[in-house]
Amino acid sequence: MKLSMGEKLNIRAMVYVAAEPIPYFWPMRSFIHHNPLHGLEDMPFETAVEQGRRLFHARGYLPRSEYQRYLKQGSVDYAALESGIGEFAAQHAVPSGIDLARWLLTLVTATGLEFSAVSRMSDAALVQAALGGTPMATDGAPVDVSQLSSRLRDQFPPDMPLCEVVDALYGTELSVELDERVIRVCLDFLDEGQSVWGMPERERGLFAAWRELSRHDMFRSPDGEWARQLLEANSDPEGVIAQAMAALGIPEKHWVGYFTRELARLHGWAGFIRWRSSASRYHWAERYPADLVDYLAVRLSLSLALL
């Protein structure tokens, strides 16, 4: 895909913005802590934790059993907890006869049950069928396509990488395979003298070196014919990114979010490359340049090959 200078700069700007949530703390020779939410410090704490959980596939809070243990030890103030739950319950309408505050307090302090959202409350017929072990009255009913589409849109937002969507729908492990392939590329290119046999053409940069090597190395070349055609048609990473996103059917308004999710899959490597590309007078970066535009072009090419 032939891009103008303005279009290339626009893609680079989007990648730059997309990388903001990705923390980079290098070189890690002496440090006392690492804040994984460093790139999200402009957000309210609860929002940053949720965004971090979503981006980095992490757990935002401790297991409930840990908080219950702290409560028994006196590290958590029961009165403050009860007051907070009461304030929360007061903001929500509930059917008559249900003491929501007491119910939630019991769930939080005395059980290990996880909370789960439901699309609708069960009616009397469904409850009777469940208790009696009989088939649900709705079995065989036509699917509400609009409701299904709405639930799928909620579960799979437009910035969610397509490999993750396919994995969730079909039980595959495309994302794991993609990560492993990208890790191999990073290990080859970012080697700092540890390997006896170095990756050739590294002086040309990450994308150019990988593109050249993939044409000759069957273990690193994309499997899909479309992906091979993509690399043949584009000699620069910006063109690969633009054409890949068009092939994936991602609207441009969602590109930044999509880039962020792709970068966050391997945020350690992405963070290192981000730091490396901005580190002045860093020997290995000067000798073998790489940036996140290169990295993203490689990742999207391999993603297309798997899809």
User: Which pLDDT score is estimated for 218?
Assistant: 45
Provide, rounded to the nearest whole percent, the portion of the chain with pLDDT above 70.
86
Domain check: are 177 and 300 in the same one? yes
What pLDDT is attached to residue 274?
Answer: 94
Which pLDDT does position 153 carry in this prediction? 77
Higher pLDDT, 10 or 46: 10
Q: Considering the domain boundaries, does residue 88 fall inside one?
A: yes
Residues 293 and 187 occupy one common structural domain: yes
Are 163 and 260 contained in the same domain?
yes
In a domain, 195, yes or no: yes
Q: For the chain, what is the domain count?
A: 2
Residue 97 pLDDT class (50, 70, 90 cuts): confident
Angle, in degrees to the nearest 10, between helices 162-170 and 174-189: 140
Six-digit token string for 29: 């020779």
pLDDT at 172 (0 to 100): 94
Query: Are 7 and 236 in contact, with CB atoms under 8 Å apart?
Result: no
The verdict on 23 and 84 lying in the same domain is no
H or E, element range at 269? helix 267-278
Give yes or no: residues 28 and 72 share one domain: no
pLDDT 10s digits, 170-192: 999 999 999 999 999 999 999 98
Q: For residues 212 and 290, state if they share a domain.
A: yes
Tell me how far CA of residue 222 lies from CA of 91, 130, 166, in angstroms.
53, 50, 19
Q: Are 174 and 239 contained in the same domain?
A: yes
Does residue 140 register a pLDDT over 70?
no
User: Span 132-141, mean pLDDT?
Assistant: 64
User: What would the mean pLDDT of 259-279 be, rounded to a whole number?
Assistant: 93
Report the C-alpha gap between 46 and 52 in whole angstroms. 10
The confidence score (pLDDT) of residue 27 equals 66
Residue 123 is predicted with a pLDDT of 65
Q: Are residues 168 and 115 in the same domain?
A: no
**Hey, is 283 helix, strand or coil?**
helix
Domain range for residue 283? 5-37+156-306
Q: Grade residue 273 by pLDDT with cuts at 50, 70 and 90.
A: very high
Q: At 219, is the pLDDT very low, low, confident or very high (cuts 50, 70, 90)?
A: very low
- Per residue in 104-123, pLDDT tens? 898 888 877 666 555 555 66
Q: Are residues 169 and 231 in the same domain?
A: yes
Are 306 and 163 in contact by the 8 Å Cβ rule? The answer is: yes
Q: Is residue 207 part of a domain?
A: yes
Enter the tokens of residue 104: 């939630």
User: What integer pLDDT is reported at residue 186 of this predicted model?
Assistant: 95
Quick one: 232 and 120 in the same domain?
Answer: no
Residues 267 and 160 placed together within one structural domain of the fold: yes
Q: How far separated are the first and last CA of the chain, in Å rounded? A: 20
For residues 275 and 48, the answer to whether their CB atoms sit within 8 Å is no
Judge contact between 286 and 198, C-beta under 8 A. no
